[in-house]
Amino acid sequence: MKKAFLVFFFLILPTLVFAAKQEVFVFNWSEYVDPSVLKQFEKETGIRVRYSTYESNEAMFAKLKMVQKAGYDVVFPSTYFVDRMRRLGMFAPLDKSKLPNLKYINPALLNKSYDPNNAYSVPYMWGASAIGINSKYIDPKTVTSWNDLWNPKYRGKVLLMDDVRDVFGMALRSLGFSANDRDPNHIRKAYEKLKLLKPSVKVYNSDSPRQPFLNNEVTIGQIWGGEVYQANQENPNIKFIYPKEGAVFWIDNMAIPRTARNVANAHKFIDFLCRPDVAKKNCEFIGYATTNSKAQQMLDPKTRNHKAVYPDDATVKNGEFQNDVGDAILLYEKYWEMLKTQ
């Protein structure tokens, strides 16, 4: 009886007290965290994680807009949504003194134009969108540029992403413009150029672009590095080529909405995910590249040296990150609809 009382007093009561007080509301993409990492956080800090998921940036944005008061504490927007939501004043500024593990984040991924000085966001997972080829059918040395997709010998064998920004970003880079261009003339030129590519396109796919490669339906096209890495488990002939005009990079970031109720806990949660051992465990579970340099060094050599997953700094510097394009997105979409219906 005495023992039971002691167990209650020292083990159960504290968790009840914490459960009543300490919480953090996390809103993340589905399947984008190792569940055991959340348990570990609860165990180490006593802070209860209230976890829910979304399927698109736009859905997360809408929910934050609709639920004005009882908000989430941590969200995971992509670069261009960090940019947009930061401009709309939807984030609370980060208190860097509460994020000591920030020092482990790869400096090549910090201080980008979508969030100068990372005042509001910490990179979480990242990757590149560049050219994938099947080296059984195409000599990798012959492909160096986005413009190679337009080569008539690949007619009917090309894959493009099924996403307006990814496809137009690629076409704009091939013309020497920015993937975040807002100039209507440049966007129109990209459309004219994509019209020429359309007869070559076999499939638009951004759910899992590795599948048409593995199925021998396409031999060349746009793809993410992580998809090439996964494809290589089945077929080592799928290669990833960073075009000379520069790849387009994505980062999903952690940020704290202005409506957050548990700002201190949110900082603790973000810092926890930046801890190298946690980041390593997490990226092994999710399968994307970690932004954590220390965690990357802890991975097995085959993974951490895979160029498709972890490009060198010069490749990153030569590329571009997706920013918000404001109302120019309406123009992009108009041309996208014309491209798809012609």
Partner 1 sequence: MVSKSGFRNVSIGSTLLWITVFVVVPYLFVLVFSFFQRDPEQIVAAVFTWQNYKDIFSPVFLVVCWNSLILALGTTVITLLVAYPFAFFLGRIPERIRRILLLLMIIPFWTSSLIRTYALIILFKANGIVNGLLLSLKLVDEPLAILYTQTSVFIGLVYTLLPFMILPIYSSIQKLDLRLIEAARDLGATSGHIFLRIVLPLTLPGIIAGSTMVFLPALGLFYIPDLLGGARSMLIGNFIKNQFLTTGNWPLGSAASVILTLIMCLFLYVYFLSSRKARTSGMGEMA
Binding site for partner 1 (CB under 8 A): 56, 58-59, 61-62, 65, 88, 156, 162-165, 201-205, 211-212, 215-217, 326-327, 329-330, 333-334, 336-338, 340-341
Q: Which of 85, 36, 96, 95 is nearest to 60 (CA)?
A: 85
Helix (H), strand (E), coil (C) string for 327-340:
CHHHHHHHHHHHHH
- By C-beta, is 145 or 211 nearer to partner 1? 211
Shortest distance (Å) from residue 275 CB to partner 1: 34
Q: Is 291 within 8 Å of 249 (Cβ atoms)?
A: no
Shortest distance (Å) from residue 334 CB to partner 1: 8
As a 3-state breakdown, the chain gives helix, strand, coil percent values, each rounded to 5, of 50, 20, 30
- By C-beta, is 43 or 65 nearer to partner 1? 65
Instruction: Name the residue with tokens 């499939």.
Output: 203
- By C-beta, is 162 or 271 nearer to partner 1? 162
Shortest distance (Å) from residue 150 CB to partner 1: 17
Shortest distance (Å) from residue 225 CB to partner 1: 22
Shortest distance (Å) from residue 192 CB to partner 1: 16
81's tokens = 């949504």
Q: Is 220 within 8 Å of 154 (Cβ atoms)?
A: yes
With 0-12 CB in 10 A as exposed, 13-18 as middle and 19+ as buried, what is 208?
A: middle
Phi-psi category of residue 326: left, alpha or beta, with phi > 0 → left and psi -120 to 50 → alpha: left
- By C-beta, is 124 or 335 nearer to partner 1? 335
Tell me which amino acid residue 291 is. T
Q: Is 52 within 8 Å of 76 (Cβ atoms)?
A: no
- By C-beta, is 92 or 328 nearer to partner 1? 328
- By C-beta, is 169 or 246 nearer to partner 1? 169
CA atoms within 13 A on the CB side of 281: 16
Shortest distance (Å) from residue 29 CB to partner 1: 14
- By C-beta, is 263 or 329 nearer to partner 1? 329
- Cα angle value 105/170/312 (rounded, 5°): 30
3 state SS of 267: helix
- Residues 254 and 230: their CA atoms lie apart, in Å, by 25
Shortest distance (Å) from residue 290 CB to partner 1: 27
